[in-house]
Amino acid sequence: MNGSKLDQIRSEVEKGNKECFNQIVDEYEDKIFGFINSIIKDNYHSEDLTQEVFIRVYNNLHQFDDTKKFSTWILTIARNISYDHLRKKSRVAVCGDLDHVSNDLPEDVVLAKEYNESVDKYVQMLPDNLRVLIHLKYFEEMSYKEISMSLGLEVKTVRSQLYEARKKLLRFIETEEVISWNVK
């Protein structure tokens, strides 16, 4: 979308012409949905998050900096909303719903739940960028290439940041084990 067309739409929206905003939705809806879905891999939530992006764009259109590209601005909003969604989702236990009927021994179910809660605890201690990488790689099972395309990073950057994330997780675990051994 070129600058003059965007200026015209923004002017009309500021005057209260909400219908004019549909031009932005029509032009970017598929791109935003595809971008979000490439990150979270969930069509249902991607639709909701796409709507959330356009609500945020509509409410903040007056803050858009004309010296920047509109497509970059809207994709940044989509990325941030996607990361927020992943952060909320990663707080759920790693193994999912343990309330289902199982042939496992009750002790095994409890141990699995405790293990997953401790792993989740360590993942939550990571910085946002590393937590998202861990989520995409190990929970969404995305390849390095898929992650790099989704986040707009080089594959070597994804590899090195995942390496850093694994090292931090290991340090968290080792530190806690040392503390627990000293307490006993």
In order, the DSSP letters of 42-61 are: -HHHHHHHHHHHHHHHHHHG
For residue 28, what pLDDT is reported? 92
Q: Is the pLDDT of residue 141 over 50?
A: yes
Each residue's pLDDT tens digit, 56-110: 999 999 888 888 888 888 988 998 898 888 877 765 434 344 444 445 555 555 5
What share of residues in the chain are helix, strand, coil (percent, to 5)? 80, 0, 20
Each residue's pLDDT tens digit, 9-34: 888 888 888 888 999 999 999 999 98
Three-state DSSP at 27 gives: helix
Of residues 157 and 14, more confidently modeled: 157
Share of the chain above pLDDT 90, in %: 20
pTM recorded for the entire structure: 0.53
Q: Is the pLDDT of residue 147 over 90?
A: no
Q: Residue 95: count other Cβ atoms within 10 Å of its Cβ.
A: 14
Of residues 62 and 182, more confidently modeled: 62
* Average pLDDT along the chain: 78
Instruction: Write the burial class of residue 175 (CB in 10 Å: 0-12 exposed, 13-18 middle, 19+ buried).
Output: exposed
Residues 66, 37, 59: CA angle, nearest 5 degrees:
35
Q: Is the pLDDT of residue 179 over 80?
A: no
Question: Which domains are seen in the chain, by residue range?
Answer: 3-90 (1.10.1740.10), 125-183 (1.10.10.10)
